[in-house]
Amino acid sequence: MAMAGSGERGALRAAIEGLLRTCVELERHADGAARASREQVSRVARGLVGLRAPGVSDLSGEIADIGKFMSADVSKTLREARAPYVVEVHQLLGLLAPLHGVAAVPVLSPSGTAAVGLQAAFPAGFARDYVGDLLTGMDRSVTVDAEAARLVPTVPQLDTDGAKVSTGAEYSDDHRDVGVGLLQDPICHAVERHGPQMPDEAQLARLIWLKDPSGADAWQIAPDGAVQTSHRCGVSAGGFTSPEALAKPIEAPANGTQGCRWLGRLSHEKRRRIPVDRHPRQRRAGRFGRG
């Protein structure tokens, strides 16, 4: 089944990141130019300090101030230069938002394009958070196109089963049966989509192109280039770094008498409500790291 917009999502993200990268590069070049100018002006001003000619002292101060003014002028020029990029990114975010379950992106305010920080240029909420995710890992971010995603293999079931066995070994004796039972529940996908056996390429293909790493949800590229799948993924894709990390959030509620009773009930009546698919390690919008 084709999910509306599934192919566009990856293309929109790539376009947004490309424009943001341009803004970041502009800022880097501008900062470099301003810094070089300040250093050169400072050297000139220092060279005048020892002179005794009338008016040299005041002139030295004036020259030193030029460097400060240069930084302010560069910052203003940078904001003006990136304004068209901010407008285009904002429009792209408006198209992307519904694919993430967000109805609409607030209008871009005139003061937004003049904001000092690039992230602050966008309205609060989905737009600012999404841009922030991309900017935070811009230096280390990676991406993948649809064809490369197609070549990423699904994770073998043998590896997934092995991860479940390894995770089961990390539970305490008192909770091992309950923990293993939860991971084996048909509705649980903690290991299949977030387990330590998951390679970064599989998570990246899921994040950008909605390719299910477990292979449970069908995925293909149509002749027109659109991705066809019913799989879904949020703004970020995360995983557990080790079997021990995967076992911890399941055993955590067992601390204390009430926790033990709650965990025991989950193994019978409310097993489906335990949140075993969350972990502090997250791969946000194209940024990956091992925790």
Q: What is the pTM of this model?
A: 0.46
Give the model's pLDDT for residue 199: 87
Tens digits of per-residue pLDDT, 100-149?
Answer: 888 889 998 876 666 668 888 899 999 999 998 888 766 555 667 788 88
148 and 186 Cβ atoms separated by less than 8 Å:
no
Most confident listed range (50-64, 105-119, 230-244, 258-272) = 230-244
Give the model's pLDDT for residue 235: 67
Give the model's pLDDT for residue 89: 94
Give the model's pLDDT for residue 178: 83
Give the model's pLDDT for residue 114: 60
Give the model's pLDDT for residue 221: 87
Give the rounded percent of residues in the chain with a pLDDT score beyond 70: 74
Q: Which residue has the higher pLDDT, 203 or 286?
A: 203
Of 3-17, 220-234, 262-276, the one with minimum mean pLDDT is 262-276
Give the model's pLDDT for residue 57: 65
